[in-house]
Amino acid sequence: MIDKQSANALNSDGYLVAPCPALDGSEIQQAFRAFIRREREHQLRFLQKEYGYAYDGFSYYGQTDSSHQAHDDLISTFVLSEFYPVERFPPEFHGFLNSRWQEVVQVVRGLETELLTQLDVPGLLDFYLHNVGHMLSNNYYPPLQQFTTTAAGNTRLSAHPDASLFTVFPFGIDQELELQLTGEDGGTTWQSVDASDAILLYPGYLLEMWTRGEIKAMNHRVRLSADRAAERFSFSCFSLPFPLRKFEMPGRGPVTSEEYFEAYGALF
């Protein structure tokens, strides 16, 4: 249960650790690994451009036309969502989507609804309940020894805020994630997050825009690992508006889902 105190942590620290254990991520990791191991020809059948909304689909290291990752980020990603039917996604994910996806979304929605109730931002819970769905970004970081370069800022994944209302890690987090925290004097520092079996949550740009900057999107990155032979997985769930919705954005007037993504994309 997210109480007032936890909700306040979001305001003071910029993120919060949910008071419930992470879900078992072994099934999604197995499914994603099976996809990652498939031949490139199979993977390319599910590129982002084959979907066309938000970030759904496959993006790979070196790709220059993905809106989900920079070309020099040392990762491959696959974004699943409830914006498309299960059959549109690669067969490797069908078992997970048919058996576990609803449970994951339910847990994430429960946490977000409790948090939004505590935050009590005018109109936001109503917007969330009527317009917001979920996507899951599956992120695979191959061993660093496979690369001769690094991502921007000498990282494995370059710094960015997410497009989401909230980003939630329902299966816990591996080490090397770093959050950019703001101190009382307004200065910022990068802080490492320990690997954890807890559910971490932080705001994305949609919450920043909705609150007109009162709650800032968390800037984050993944640092280089000391172990150059180690691969890394992460699974982050984004709350985002369904396609073709039109809603009132405080201070901006009516905005469509597509216009929102355009505004987020203009940050880069």
Radius of gyration of the chain (CA): 18
Closest separation between CB of residue 162 and Fe ion, Å?
4
Residue (96 or 235) nearer to Fe ion, CB: 235
What single-letter amino acid sits at 56? D
Residue (162 or 174) nearer to Fe ion, CB: 162
H or E element at residue 21 = strand 16-21
Closest separation between CB of residue 254 and Fe ion, Å?
28
What single-letter amino acid sits at 222? V
Residue (92 or 162) nearer to Fe ion, CB: 162
For Fe ion, the nearest residue by Cβ is 162
* Contact flags string 69-108 toward Fe ion, x per CB under 5 A: ----------------------------------------
CB 80 within 8 A of CB 54: no
d(CA 119, CA 121) in angstroms, rounded, equals 6
CB 50 within 8 A of CB 65: no
d(CA 253, CA 31) in angstroms, rounded, equals 41
Phi-psi region of 147 (alpha: psi -120 to 50; beta: other; left: phi over 0): beta
Residue (73 or 92) nearer to Fe ion, CB: 73
Q: Using CB under 5 A, which of 73, 92, 162, 178 touches Fe ion?
A: 162
What single-letter amino acid sits at 20? C
Residue (109 or 221) nearer to Fe ion, CB: 221
174 part of the interface to Fe ion, by CB under 5 A: no
Which span (83-91, 155-163, 172-180, 188-196) binds Fe ion, by CB under 5 A? Answer: 155-163
Choose among 234, 201, 196: nearest CA to 215. Answer: 201
Choose among 82, 84, 78: nearest CA to 66. Answer: 78
d(CA 38, CA 230) in angstroms, rounded, equals 20
Which span (21-29, 140-148, 159-167, 244-252) binds Fe ion, by CB under 5 A? Answer: 159-167
Closest separation between CB of residue 220 and Fe ion, Å?
6
Which span (59-67, 107-115, 156-164, 187-195) binds Fe ion, by CB under 5 A? Answer: 156-164
Residue (14 or 184) nearer to Fe ion, CB: 14
Closest separation between CB of residue 234 and Fe ion, Å?
9
If binding means CB under 5 A, how many residues of this protein chain bind Fe ion?
A: 1
Closest separation between CB of residue 79 and Fe ion, Å?
11
Q: What's the angle, vertex CA 199, arms to CA 123 and CA 57, rounded to 5?
A: 75
Q: Which residues pair with 47 in a beta bridge?
A: 58
Residues that bind Fe ion (CB under 5 A): 162
